Amino acid sequence: MSFDLLVRNANLPDGRTGIDIACWDGRIAAVEQDITAEAKETIDAGGLLVSPPFVDSHFHMDATLSLGLPRMNRSGTLLEGIALWGELKEILTVEAVVERALKYCDLAVSQGLLAIRTHVDVCDDRLTGVKGLLEVRDKVRDYIDLQLVAFPQDGLYRSANAEKNLLAALDMGVDIVGGIPHFERTMEHGARSVARLCEIAAERGLMVDLHCDETDDPMSRHIETLALETQRLGLQGRVAGSHLTSMHSMDNYYVSKLLPLIAEAEIHAIANPLINITLQGRHDSYPKRRGQTRVPELRSHGVNVAFGHDCVMDPWYSMGSGDMLEVASMGLHVAQMTSRDDIRYCFDCVTSHPARAMGLEGYGLQTGCKADFVLLQARDTIEAIRLKATRLKVVKGGKVIASTPARTARLDLAGRPVSVDPAGYAPKES
Ligand code: FE2
């Protein structure tokens, strides 16, 4: 038997070491020590980490890499970002959306990011973003799983043609129903929008992913309605609540009642640490709230939590590089999740957890899974986050589709040559 690809001596995210991974016909054929069979291509992992691909379950690809168009966000607030995006939408073209999105997809692949759920704004009667990203989804199909969410950015009821456009986008092939209840004119309109959007999803057999309570207002409780509607319509496991930042500011007693409700409804919680640590608390003096949703508490209630990138160089966020390890790093800092177990959990928040939220088939490193994975310049998941480790090889369907040289500094210290490998500092594990 000759495999297509054999990776030797890999460490895996679950802590196993010295593992070989054999790939055949696009799938993982074996994951065990000392595989003796031959392969057309062999990679020596040298005791470094092989992980399933990074997954971003919350992104805005129609806006990415548009920073500065038509002007910069001066206040840095969410609301100026939305207003600025409104100005850009007027002059957007399908070609420009496609060009920027494909450029981002190349960056994503180089970072081992091979599955992305992107929201696409449908509050534009021309549906420019929808047309552009449907084209991109086809173009990148062989190397990125791209899911599209029909997102009424300006509000389902607040924007004149939002519902008509959302339904049209779904008819055109957009995968998931989106929404933004906290941006509707009143709490009541917000709650109604949640119910209506869940009904649309139930009628069409689709998933739901709402921007939900992305505000510091502790009374923004649309997640409660989302959980209840999910149960009423039998959508358990198919619904995600993105951001959920109002939970940061809510009364503790109320949250103690809310958390079990979210868990019962099997809602996936998607936090976006990079963007929300910059956007939330903008109306506070001091102390300033961090605004991130309650990740450790959601975890302890058994809720599936993922971290999304949300934005890269767009009207809301001027930073970002498609690096999900940067996202995981910010998430653990903001949530103060610094135990060894917590840090490993944050790695899962940018790999297996978002894969579950997106319902990705064949994701993982078990026999029978798709032969998609990343070799990192780190020995374990904690080191990978700490170093934002270099993606040495990115493998898709058993083929290497991206390579980056290892990061090694060469020093000349008073005639003493030294090589510094950033992945060379092991802690004493107790
Ligand atoms: Fe978002």
CA of 60 to the centre of ligand 1 (A): 6
Does residue 45 sit in the same domain as residue 58?
A: no
Strand partners, 148: 118
Q: Between the CA of residue 87 and those of 208, 280, 396, what are the distances in Å?
A: 27, 23, 38
CA angle 202, 207, 211 (to 5 degrees): 110
Tally the residues of the chain.
430
Is residue 119 within 8 Å of 178, Cβ to Cβ?
yes
DSSP letter assigned to residue 363:
-
The CA distance from 404 to 48, in Å, is 15
Q: Which of 358, 373, 390 is the last residue of a domain?
A: 358
Does residue 24 sit in the same domain as residue 80?
A: no
- Tell me, what's the pLDDT at 303? 98
Owner of token pair 């389902």: 156
Of 135, 163, 214, 297, the active-site residue reads 214
CA of 308 to the centre of ligand 1 (A): 9
The CA distance from 48 to 187, in Å, is 50
CA of 414 to the centre of ligand 1 (A): 51
Does residue 354 sit in the same domain as residue 377?
A: no
Does residue 392 sit in the same domain as residue 381?
A: yes
Q: Is residue 33 part of a domain?
A: yes
Cβ neighbours, 10 Å, residue 392: 24
Q: Is residue 186 part of a domain?
A: yes
- Name the residue range of residue 47's domain: 2-52+364-410
Q: H helices within 183-304, ranges in order? A: 187-204, 222-232, 246-249, 252-264, 273-279, 295-300
- Tell me, what's the pLDDT at 32? 97
Spell out the per-residue pLDDT of the chain, length 430, in tens: 799 999 999 999 999 999 999 999 999 999 999 999 999 999 999 999 999 999 999 999 999 999 999 999 988 888 899 889 999 998 999 999 999 999 999 999 999 999 999 999 999 999 999 999 999 999 999 999 999 999 999 999 999 999 999 999 999 999 999 999 999 999 999 999 999 999 999 999 999 999 999 999 999 999 999 999 999 999 999 999 999 999 999 999 999 999 999 999 999 999 999 999 999 999 999 999 999 999 999 999 999 999 999 999 999 999 999 999 999 999 999 999 999 999 999 999 999 999 999 999 999 999 999 999 999 999 999 999 999 999 999 999 999 999 999 999 999 998 899 999 988 777 776 5
- Tell me, what's the pLDDT at 429? 66
Q: Is residue 210 part of a domain?
A: yes
Cβ neighbours, 10 Å, residue 225: 20
CA of 311 to the centre of ligand 1 (A): 7
CA of 287 to the centre of ligand 1 (A): 25
Active site residue 38: no
Does residue 23 sit in the same domain as residue 72?
A: no
Does residue 11 sit in the same domain as residue 81?
A: no
Q: Which of 315, 334, 358 is the last residue of a domain?
A: 358
pTM (whole model) above 0.95: yes
String of DSSP letters for 296-344: HHHHHTT--EEE--B-SSSSS-S---S-HHHHHHHHHHHTT--SHHHHH
- Tell me, what's the pLDDT at 76? 83
Does residue 7 sit in the same domain as residue 84?
A: no
- Tell me, what's the pLDDT at 7? 98
The CA distance from 157 to 183, in Å, is 10
β 19-24/2-10 pair status: antiparallel
β 239-243/268-271 pair status: parallel
Q: Is residue 417 part of a domain?
A: no
Q: Is residue 430 part of a domain?
A: no
Task: Enumerate residues with CB within 5 Å of ligand 1 (an ion).
Answer: 310
The CA distance from 113 to 385, in Å, is 15
The CA distance from 381 to 347, in Å, is 6
Question: Which CATH number characterizes residue 390's domain?
Answer: 2.30.40.10
Does residue 121 sit in the same domain as residue 30?
A: no
Does residue 190 sit in the same domain as residue 320?
A: yes
- Tell me, what's the pLDDT at 78? 82
The CA distance from 225 to 142, in Å, is 38
- Tell me, what's the pLDDT at 428? 74
Q: Is residue 424 part of a domain?
A: no
The CA distance from 20 to 28, in Å, is 11
Q: Which of 338, 358, 378 is the last residue of a domain?
A: 358
- Tell me, what's the pLDDT at 195? 98
Q: Edge to edge, what strands does the sheet with 50-51 contain?
A: 50-51, 373-376, 391-396, 399-403
The CA distance from 197 to 177, in Å, is 7
Does residue 26 sit in the same domain as residue 41?
A: yes
Does residue 110 sit in the same domain as residue 34?
A: no
Question: Which CATH number characterizes residue 225's domain?
Answer: 3.20.20.140
Q: Is residue 427 part of a domain?
A: no
The CA distance from 106 to 322, in Å, is 10
Q: Is residue 420 part of a domain?
A: no
Phi, then psi, of 270 in degrees rounded to 5: -115, 105
CA of 425 to the centre of ligand 1 (A): 36
Does residue 27 sit in the same domain as residue 176?
A: no
- Tell me, what's the pLDDT at 77? 85
CA of 59 to the centre of ligand 1 (A): 6
CA of 211 to the centre of ligand 1 (A): 6
| Structural domain count, the chain | 2
